[in-house]
A and B are shown apart, each in its own frame.
Chain A
Amino acid sequence: MMMTVLLIIVGALIALFAIGVVSFKHPVASAVSLLVGFLLVGVFYLLYGAEFVAAVQVMVYAGGIMVLYLMGVLFTDNEWIHVTRQTHLQAWIGLVLILAFFAFFGHKLFHSEYPAIENVASQTVVQKENKAEEKLGYLKRETNPRSVSVKLFSDYLIPFEAASVLLTVAVVGGIFLAKKEV
């Protein structure tokens, strides 16, 4: 019960900050709320017991990407802020897409089976006592680096590599955007 309440609160906060990202006028404010959103997503993962993902989420998105983001925003010329309109025609298309997205996931959410949240959360709380005598017994546990990397490089290899392609595309796009008009 406690878990569910926490999840709802955190989820609501994430949604709030996500709205903040798109609705704040100032890019730095948006960036900061995006940062907080990322951190809260990390909390979300933690609550689900996905510690590894949570740590990586914070480290990569909050600690790495957001830094570059913020640096980019801070050190580029942002006088255009005042002339750019916040809503235009694309907003309506976006709204339609968002509704479609929510419809799809809502449908999925209510028509598939998930383990009860309470169970997932309680699984991660494992009592460990008398570790001194275990003598590296921890190697058998699920969250050790070995098992994570085995999973990452076998079952999830394609998404992993796809992500790298995505990042390369983003880098190229960034350079293109920053280029002078020729």
Chain B
Amino acid sequence: MADEKETTAAPAAPAPPKKGWEPTGEIAESDASKALLEKFAGFAAPVKNLAKEPTVMVKKEKLVEALEYLKSDPQHLFDYLSDMTAVHYPDNDKKIMTVYHLYSTSRKDSIRVKCELDEGEACPTCVGVWPAANWMEREAFDLMGVAFEGHPDLRRILMPDEWEGHPLRKEYPLGGPQEEEIRSNKYGKPQLLPDDLEEARKIIEEGRNER
């Protein structure tokens, strides 16, 4: 409700480009990203970044292998999975992107690895590489609907087990599944109920019956 008011009241923003999300900035490189691109040539591509964070896009087939390489290669030793999440790009060709932020506790270096997925495609799990990924992948599954292949315990984690839909997907309304329903009732926008108790009760009752 509130955000609709928001969008109308906000200063006219430039229309978001329709063709999808494309990172801008410049390609940042580190030893690790160079080595990764070399080793997985054809499967890895550098990604532009705003803040000079080395970022590599790895294809799904080689993802676990690449992560394992980054973790165990004595040159890199990215032993710490700082964060793992997924992003939904409904306008892109590949609609889901999983993002891994790695850090090396011994070399004090970080790298970001990304992986593009088609809608409904399962991402290979990296629980075998870092046990830490367990909950992170569960969270991504729960909120974004990304399935993880080979995950030992892929259940919802933050939402209730019987919840329908994946809240962080772009098509999921902010007000939840009922939001559209609420908006499209015959009173149009949510309104203050009349002071008269009987009338208010009647309106509520009607709304309930309609639903």
Direct contact of A and B (CB under 8 A): no
